[in-house]
């Protein structure tokens, strides 16, 4: 790549090459000529000089033949940059799927589920973005190799707000599905240390399990025993069980519940559970209100 292009960002380099190529084309005389900024004109001339050196064009004024050579060079360079960008995105996607990207290199998107639930409990997008960009800890979870569904990738981020010295600290726990270099946030929880004992936790997954133990409701999947939390399990489906019967828990009257259930039914006899838990939202929101959090219906 030419030195002048190395010094520019990709979009700036493409603009410079495009305007330089345009300046070499015949003027059809249909519109008034656009006045060129002196800095832009110098950039075009510098680019032309470097292209001429690269192509070993020694004459000052370009002939029709040498113009074609310059235009072909510019066209090839733009095509290479576009191809390089596609390769870069593909590489980022592969690295992102593995969970090996730096937190600030993931693109953040928000699911409708987040907007319908977490956002109504006072969690703003900028709170989540801060947690994802500079977490205290993050775990990128991937299905075991014996699971058929290898695309169920998700990450758990944690960050404590405010500092530990505060009289009412809480940990923001964010859950997102990894899709290449994109993190799609589907839930976020504000976990106050005075409500959930986090003293023995070391990882975001530990914090999530502690949260589920405090606010969870026992549930079962297929033929499994009741529990508060399931992670990457293959579970047999009893004969005659299907549809909504697969996931069961006690639904208490006049109380709100929220189910987190990522799964794939791999056959009529088996289901792969990536993660599952049920939260007693009525109990959780009562505690949030005690901390001054406004709940929106």
Spacing of C-alpha 79 from chain mean position: 28
Co-location of 107 and 209 in the same domain: yes
> Are both 123 and 270 inside the same structural domain?
yes
Per-residue tokens: 109: 């998107």
CA 190-196-197 angle, 5° bins: 135
Of 74, 98, 122, the domain-final residue: 98
Whether residues 139 and 260 share a domain: the answer is yes
Cβ 255 vs Cβ 282: under 8 Å: yes
Other beta carbons within 10 Å of 90: 12
- 233 located within any domain: yes
Q: Is the domain of 61 the same as that of 87?
A: yes
Q: C-alpha angle 101/104/106, rounded to 5°?
A: 55
Distance between CA 128 and CA 69 in Å, rounded? 52
| Inside any domain, residue 296 | no
Q: Let me know whether 250 and 117 are in one domain.
A: yes
**Checking phi first, is residue 29 left (phi over 0); if not, alpha (psi -120 to 50) or beta?**
left
Q: Does residue 187 sit within a domain?
A: yes
* Cα dihedral 49, 51, 54, 60 sign: negative
The reply to whether the predicted model has a pTM over 0.85 is no
> Does a structural domain hold residue 167?
yes
Residue with tokens 């005389």: 29
143 and 168 both lie in a single domain: yes
Place of tokens 């069961």: 248
Is there a domain that residue 173 lies in? yes
Q: Tell me the C-alpha distance between 99 and 86, whole Å.
A: 20
Q: What confidence score (pLDDT) does residue 242 get?
A: 67
Does residue 244 belong to any structural domain of this protein? yes
Final residue of a domain: which of 69, 98, 127? 98
Number of residues written out for the chain: 297
Whether residue 50 is found in the same domain as residue 182: no
Q: Which domain holds residue 71?
A: 3-98
* CB-CB contact of 240 with 252 (8 Å): no
User: Digits of tens for pLDDT over the chain (297 positions)?
Assistant: 788 888 887 778 888 888 888 888 776 554 455 566 777 788 888 888 898 888 888 878 888 888 888 888 888 888 777 766 676 667 666 777 777 778 888 899 999 999 999 999 999 999 999 999 999 999 999 888 888 877 788 999 999 987 555 678 999 999 999 988 899 999 999 999 999 999 889 999 999 999 999 999 999 998 889 999 999 999 988 887 766 678 888 888 889 999 999 888 888 788 899 999 999 999 999 999 999 999 987
How many other C-beta atoms are found inside a 10 Å radius of the C-beta of residue 141? 18
Tell me, yes or no, whether 33 and 117 share the same domain: no
Distance between CA 236 and CA 68 in Å, rounded? 68
Together in a domain, 113 and 255: yes
- Please identify, among 55, 76, 98, the residue that sits at the C-terminal boundary of a domain: 98
List the alpha helices (DSSP H) in 2-160: 3-6, 10-24, 38-54, 64-98, 112-116, 125-133
Residue 63 domain-assigned (yes or no) = yes
- Asked if 255 contacts 240 with a C-beta cutoff of 8 angstroms, the reply is no
Residues 39 and 54 in one domain: yes
Q: Please, what is the end-to-end C-alpha distance for the chain in angstroms?
A: 57
Is 295 within the bounds of a domain? no
Residues 24 and 155 in one domain: no
Q: Count of domains in the chain?
A: 2
123 with 54, same domain: the answer is: no
């Amino acid at each position: 790549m030419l030195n002048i292009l190395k010094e520019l960002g990709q979009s700036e380099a493409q603009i410079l090459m495009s305007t330089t190529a345009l300046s070499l084309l015949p003027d059809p005389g249909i519109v008034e000529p656009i006045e060129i900024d002196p800095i832009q004109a110098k950039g075009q001339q510098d680019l032309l000089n470097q292209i001429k050196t690269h192509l070993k064009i020694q004459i000052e004024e370009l002939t029709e033949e040498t113009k074609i050579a310059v235009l072909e060079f510019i066209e090839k360079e733009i095509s290479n940059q576009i191809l390089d960008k596609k390769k870069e995105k593909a590489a980022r996607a592969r690295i992102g799927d593995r969970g090996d990207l730096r937190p600030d290199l993931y693109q953040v998107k928000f699911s409708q589920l987040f907007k319908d639930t977490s956002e109504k409990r006072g969690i703003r997008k900028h709170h989540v973005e801060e947690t994802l960009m500079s977490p205290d800890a993050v775990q990128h979870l991937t299905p075991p190799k014996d699971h058929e569904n290898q695309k169920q990738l998700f990450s758990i981020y944690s960050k404590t707000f405010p500092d530990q010295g505060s009289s009412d600290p809480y940990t923001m726990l964010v859950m997102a599905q990894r899709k290449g270099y994109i993190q799609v946030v589907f839930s976020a929880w504000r976990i106050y240390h005075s409500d959930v004992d986090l003293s023995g936790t070391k990882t975001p997954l530990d914090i999530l399990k502690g949260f589920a133990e405090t606010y969870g409701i026992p549930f079962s999947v297929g033929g499994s025993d009741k529990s508060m939390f399931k992670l990457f399990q293959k579970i047999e489906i009893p004969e005659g069980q299907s549809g909504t019967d697969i996931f069961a828990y006690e639904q208490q009257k006049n109380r709100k519940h929220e189910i987190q259930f990522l799964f794939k039914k791999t056959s009529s006899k088996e289901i792969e559970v990536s993660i599952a838990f049920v939260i007693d939202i009525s109990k959780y929101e009562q505690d949030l209100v005690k901390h001054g959090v406004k709940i929106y219906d």
